[in-house]
Chain A
Amino acid sequence: MTNSNAKSARYWQTLLAGLWRENPVFRLLLGMCPTLAVTAAVKPALTMGCCVIFVLICSNIIVSLMRNLLKPHLRILMFTLTIATFVTIADLFLKAFVPRMSETLGPYVPLIIVNCIIICRAEACASKNPLLVSVIDALGMGVGFTLTLCFLAAIRELLSTGKIFEAQLMPDAFVPWAAMSMPVGAFITLGLMLGLVNIVAGRKA
């Protein structure tokens, strides 16, 4: 009984690590390229997050299954191959079923291949842990990444257009800050959020 309790506690811990303690964007500072590039609005951020979750889970499954066959010198090569396959599939699905979103995201979907979160999770977790832990880890990290992206995107979209998901949230007198939808807005928002998260994390510790 205690054994299974300890096990499920570990699963929960793995799942929750991605959301706060080891949040890929705020704590590990991984995957900055999509974080800066696709957070101008919530919809593309959400789509990007879903793609990352899909790729992360698939690649963690494959890497975890073949972890005993991997030799150190072939490791990174196999990771990249696995990740590239699933990213290509995700890209094709976006093009076929949500063509407009695929256009908005442009090159950033194929660029998931070089997203550090995925290769980091393959190396740090999936290549050392059994299947279930790897999947839970992928889910936690993926959801953490998606939520962070959506959070940043919500701030930027609100300030740059006064709307979120087409819904007007700001009063009519609000003057949109066009700069927030440009790269400069991404850097400022991310920087301020990182500072804020550090203050909060410092207080807790």
Chain B
Amino acid sequence: MQQSWLLIVASFCFGLLIAVTSAALSPRIRQNEINKRNRMVTVLLPEAKDFILLDEQIEIQSLQGKKEKVEIYKAMSGTDECVGWSFEATGSGFADKIKLVIALDKNFEKIAGFDVLLSNETPGFGDQIKYDYYRDQFKGAPAGELKLVTIGERGKIDSEIVAISGATISSEAVVEIVSNSITRVKEQMLKKGIIGNDKQ
């Protein structure tokens, strides 16, 4: 029991210190996350100037079979027209979770591209999912089921994605995340009438 007061007082002081720092920095940390996503989406949808969070709740079944809420962002141009959509999707990669931000055109017909928010794939192999030569295959691909092939032409834009040699699992994980989330989000959006009926 001796000197427990020191522990209690110290815990209180340290707790207070952390609380103050966290309160002071948390708006900045949140803003950093939003900025990062917006910066990535702006590259994928060059006309986008503003991003609006959709009010409708979209829930999809993830690859692990769990229900997942998806925040859909509507990308607006300078003249307030819808130029595309974006959302985040996660799935398991080779080593760890892969978190992607996916962008689509305004009719949800073509993929505008994806970028990697979070991944821990093997350097030199799996982390090539971040490289342009792999990502460019998704730009303009049809928004629906995608297929991974090991031999093919990377320049040809269609639903066939050519794997990174030496990193088939990482390539497949990305294809699965993209294709699963897009198919399911599209389904929900069509059901709710957000897209597909000239209501833009």
Contact = CB atoms under 8 A, between A and B. Distances in A.
B10 interface: yes
B125 to A, nearest CB: 8
Interface in B117-160: 118, 120, 122-125
A81 B11 contact: yes
Nearest to A88: B18
Interface in B1-45: 2-4, 6-7, 10-11, 14, 17-18, 21-22, 25, 28-29, 32-33, 36
A88 B19 CA distance: 10
B6 A89 contact: no
Interface residues of B, number: 24
A40 interface: yes
A79 to B, nearest CB: 11
B10 A78 contact: yes
A53 to B, nearest CB: 18
Contacts of A81: 7, 10-11, 14
Interface of A is mostly: helix
Interface residues of A, number: 28
Interface in A45-82: 66, 69-71, 73-74, 77-78, 81-82
A178 B123 contact: yes
A36 to B, nearest CB: 14
A69 B32 CA distance: 42
Contacts of A69: 3, 6
Chain A CB within 10 Å — which of B2, B18, B118, B124 has the most?
A: B124
Contacts of A106: 120
Interface string A102-132: 0100100000000000000000000000000
A95 B7 contact: no
Contacts of B120: 106
A125 B7 CA distance: 21
Interface of A: 40, 66, 69-71, 73-74, 77-78, 81-82, 84-85, 88-89, 92-93, 95-97, 99, 103, 106, 160, 178-179, 181-182
Interchain residue pairs A-B with the least CB separation, the first 7: A178-B124, A85-B14, A96-B25, A99-B32, A96-B28, A181-B123, A71-B3
